[in-house]
A and B are shown apart, each in its own frame.
Chain A
Amino acid sequence: MSMPASRTRKDMVLMLVFTAAVLTMPIWLAPTGAAYPDLLQKFAIYGIFAIGFNILFGLTGYLSFGHAAFLGIGSYTAVWSFKLLTMNVIPAVIFGTVLSGLFAVLIGFISLRRSGIYFSILTLAFAQMSYNLAYSVLTPITNGETGLQLRLTDARAVDAMLGVEVTEGLPSTNLFGLEMSGYPGFYFCAVMLIIAFFISLRINRSPFGLKLLAIKSNQMRMGYTGYNTRPYLLIAFVISGMYAGLAGSLLAVTDPLAGAERMQWTASGEVVLMTILGGVGTLIGPILGAGLIKYFENIFSSYNEQVLHEIFAFLPDFMENIMVGVFQPFVGEGWHLTLGALFVIVVTFLPGGLMEGMRRLRTVFTRRRDKGKSADGKAST
């Protein structure tokens, strides 16, 4: 497919702006109090997760309720790579992504035989199976409830072969010697996010992406025109599973442990919410959604009664107490309540997510300006 030159240029600008925005996150997020490495890493990682989920849900309309399984597989694989081979993060990320991809081929091949709610239930069933197995029989691999952790006695064969000196405490993950904690860790994830975004942009603009969209709008018609839709769906499913695996292995890179709760279906629900909140089928939306949810999770869950009292200290005493009473159930421990309420409100009133909201705001403003213009025109004639 030939692409209009203006569109390619627009995409290039988008890519440049996106890259700049991601790399300068520590600067422009500083006023919000979110500019510390741990949270920034989460933004980037869950951004990748949501972009990948959007490739499946946004383009094909297939709602998977089991994507957390791939996140978990990615994490476990990465930690095993740290344990057995080397603390270098490159192999961990590659193995995590590839293995998730393989599992996605298997699960996708079976689940994609059905569509609609049946597909959702099938993916959910597979994710729950993985979760239950990780907790019970697979304990030798997953270390059950404790979660998989690094040990001093781990083999690390490649590191040993290369003669990496053995440290006193647990070794940390590194990129050829550069430790992957704090800002270096964030920049590693950020580069991954930029690559992930670029691939997703290319998929969106490609004939393949168009075919996926065609499947979403009318799968039967696609069939009549002679396309066998299943291979396309499977490819989309596998790509999206690999994104989840990449995100999972990055979680292990920034914090080398893996637990089964990462695969629970609430985790699958979380990525759905991120995508919906940002805007299904949009390029930037899922990343925005992921960032917002992780931000709120961090900020809201750290608030407690005392902080609330400080916030409302400017009010008269009785008002202050009322406001604290109103907001207290929604912060700290009760942050999930906010999340659930957000879920309901967004789906009810703004099914297109934040991007839809922005678009609506823009049309409201442009319409107003147009009205102004036409009024001017009348006056002049």
Chain B
Amino acid sequence: MDAFILQILNGLDKGAAYALIALGLTLVFGTLGVVNFAHGALFMLGSFCAVSLNKIFTISERVKDPAVKFFDAYKEQPYLEIWFGETGTTIIQYSVPLSLLLAIPIMLLFGVIMERGLIRHFYKRPHAEQILVTFGLAIVLQEIVKAWFGANPIPQAAPPIVAGSADIGSWIGLGEAVVYPWWRLIYLAFSALVLGSVFAFLQFTTWGMVVRAGMQDRETVGLLGINIQRRFTIVFGLAAVVAGMAGVMYSPILPPDYNMGMDFLVLSFVVVVVGGMGSLGGAVAAGLLLGILQSFSSMNEVKELLPGIDQVIIYLVAVVVLLVRPRGLFGRKGVMET
């Protein structure tokens, strides 16, 4: 039982990342009808927002180390610490949550520019060309990040106050064995919050209602005198923000490197297809489901029974789902049938 709950929790955090990326993919697909292969790169850019902010905070000066008395030793001391003392140290430790504030405007701007500059020209083009152009863009973004930050993963630390593990087992009366890192718990809560707000935004605001109407019938909404195109552009920006925030929050869990977007992208696409193209709820449900399945299949007991299953489970599920339920788990009729 302990192991069971632990695996579900482990699966949820990966699944939440899939769900956040898949949500953006589905939003973009549902509104603009564009298959965006660069969405993983947006997730990666989000992570690197955290890396950059950390780099900026730790710009440092070489100062003499007073702790070493016998000879002249030097150490790097960040300006923030020199200027603000203890407060500066705290600011540096909180760089990951703080970079959310940086990531939101940057990703929004980036998403809007990307949509206006490139994606806009591809609405009416075949899906193959959309895939190709966004794939190219993803390579470009990746290479720029690689040229700037290098190819190695850059670990990010969560604030020390949440460094340990939460003793979830004793909360729900299951014993000490079920522990779970605090940061992952925060990340999960954060993901739930983001998913909830996106849904609430689309479901309960007039603005969101217009967007949903536009997804159903773009032409009619346009005829009613609403500039639906502008709203769709903003939705693209919103999807970029969601991916970026997911990237920021995921950076202490997985050290960001330039290639992380691609790994997540392929899986997120599988998630979208399993959930059903164009279904927001499906994307989230399939993301969590596949995350949990992946975590279960990497248990030793399962691996002994079916060697290598942890490597292929997601793809295997995708193949089965596509063959049995071609529209995906929650797909609606008439959306991307061909």
Binding site for B on A (CB under 8 A): 57, 61, 63, 65, 110, 113-118, 120-122, 124-126, 128-129, 132-133, 135-138, 265-266, 269, 272-273, 276, 329, 333-334, 336-337, 339-344, 347-348, 351
Contact = CB atoms under 8 A, between A and B. Distances in A.
A265 B266 contact: yes
A33 B28 CA distance: 45
B308 A136 contact: yes
Contacts of B132: 272-273, 276, 343, 347
B35 A351 contact: no
Interface string B295-333: 000000000000110011001101100110010000000
B105 interface: no
B127 A116 contact: yes
Interface in B121-139: 121, 125, 127-129, 131-133, 135-139
Closest 3 CB pairs of A and B: A343-B136, A340-B139, A137-B308
B290 to A, nearest CB: 12
**A interface: dominant SS:** helix
Given A129-B316, A341-B140, A329 B270 contact: no
B144 interface: yes
A122 B133 contact: no
A272 B136 CA distance: 11
Contacts of B125: 351
Given A121-B270, A265-B266, A351-B125, A340 B137 contact: yes
Tell which of B128, B316, B322 has the most Cβ of chain A within 10 Å: B128
A337 B258 CA distance: 13
B336 A117 contact: yes
Given A116-B336, A135-B311, A340 B138 contact: yes
B121 to A, nearest CB: 6
B143 interface: yes
A121 B144 CA distance: 27
A116 B337 CA distance: 9
Contact of A336 (B128, B129, B143, B273): B143
Nearest to B144: A337
Contacts of A329: 144, 147
Contacts of A122: 318-319, 322
Contact of B308 (A133, A333, A341): A133
A349 to B, nearest CB: 10
**B interface: dominant SS:** helix
Given A117-B35, A129-B316, A344 B133 contact: yes
Given A266-B262, A344-B137, A347-B132, 8 more contacts: A113-B326, A116-B338, A118-B326, A129-B315, A265-B266, A273-B132, A340-B142, A343-B132
Contacts of B133: 343-344, 347-348
B232 interface: no
A125 B136 contact: no
Contacts of A337: 139-140, 143-144, 147
A322 B214 CA distance: 48
Contact of A348 (B118, B311, B315, B338): B118
A339 B139 contact: yes
A340 B143 contact: yes
A113 B312 contact: no
Interface residues of B, number: 39
Given A117-B35, A128-B266, A129-B312, A137 B322 contact: no
B270 A125 contact: yes
B323 A110 contact: yes
B307 A137 contact: yes
B323 A137 contact: no
Contacts of B326: 113-114, 118
Contacts of B144: 329, 337
A133 B136 contact: no
B21 to A, nearest CB: 15
A351 B126 CA distance: 10
Tell which of A269, A333, A344 has the most Cβ of chain B within 10 Å: A344
A309 B185 CA distance: 53
Interface in B167-184: none
A318 to B, nearest CB: 23
A276 B128 CA distance: 10
B136 A347 contact: yes
13 contacts: A61-B128, A63-B128, A65-B131, A113-B322, A115-B338, A125-B270, A129-B311, A132-B311, A136-B311, A329-B147, A337-B147, A340-B136, A347-B132
B269 interface: yes
Nearest to A57: B128
A113 B143 CA distance: 36
B128 A341 contact: no
B118 A334 contact: no
A125 B315 contact: yes
Nearest to B314: A125
A268 to B, nearest CB: 10
A329 B140 CA distance: 11
Contacts of A334: 143, 147
A125 B320 CA distance: 11
B192 to A, nearest CB: 27
A339 B312 CA distance: 30
Nearest to B125: A351
Contacts of A117: 35, 127, 131, 273, 277, 336
A64 to B, nearest CB: 11
A138 B308 CA distance: 8
A340 B336 contact: no
B273 A351 contact: no
Contacts of A114: 322, 326
A343 B137 CA distance: 8
Contact of A118 (B118, B262, B273, B307): B273
A137 B297 CA distance: 14
A333 B125 CA distance: 33
